[in-house]
Amino acid sequence: MEIRPIRTDDDYRAALSEIAAAWGAPDGTEAGDRLDVLLALVDAYEDRRWPISVEDRFDPVDVLTYAIEDLGHSQAELATILSSRSRASEVLSRRRALTAGMIHKISEAWKIPADLLVRPYRVERAA
Residues 70 and 111 reside in one and the same domain: yes
pLDDT tens figures, 40-93: 999 999 888 887 665 556 789 999 999 999 999 999 999 999 999 999 999 999
107 lies in a domain?
A: yes
Helix (H, G, I), strand (E, B) or coil at 53: coil
Q: Which domain holds residue 88?
A: 56-116
Could you please report the per-residue DSSP string of 1-20? -------SHHHHHHHHHHHH
Residues 45 and 64 reside in one and the same domain: no
69 lies in a domain?
A: yes
* Structural contact between residues 93 and 124, judged by C-beta atoms closer than 8 angstroms: yes
Residues 64 and 108 reside in one and the same domain: yes
In whole angstroms, give the CA distance from residue 38 to residue 112. 31
All residues at 6 or more sequence positions from 64 whose CB lies less than 8 Å from its CB, including other chains: 78, 91, 92, 106, 117
Q: Whole-prediction pTM value?
A: 0.56
Which CATH number characterizes residue 84's domain? 1.10.260.40
Residues 15 and 43 reside in one and the same domain: yes
124 lies in a domain?
A: no
pLDDT tens figures, 3-26: 889 999 999 999 999 999 999 999
pLDDT at 1 over 50: no
99 lies in a domain?
A: yes
127 lies in a domain?
A: no
123 lies in a domain?
A: no
Q: Report the pLDDT value the prediction gives residue 52, as an integer from 0 to 100.
A: 66
Mean pLDDT of 110-125: 88
Number of domains making up the chain = 2
81 lies in a domain?
A: yes
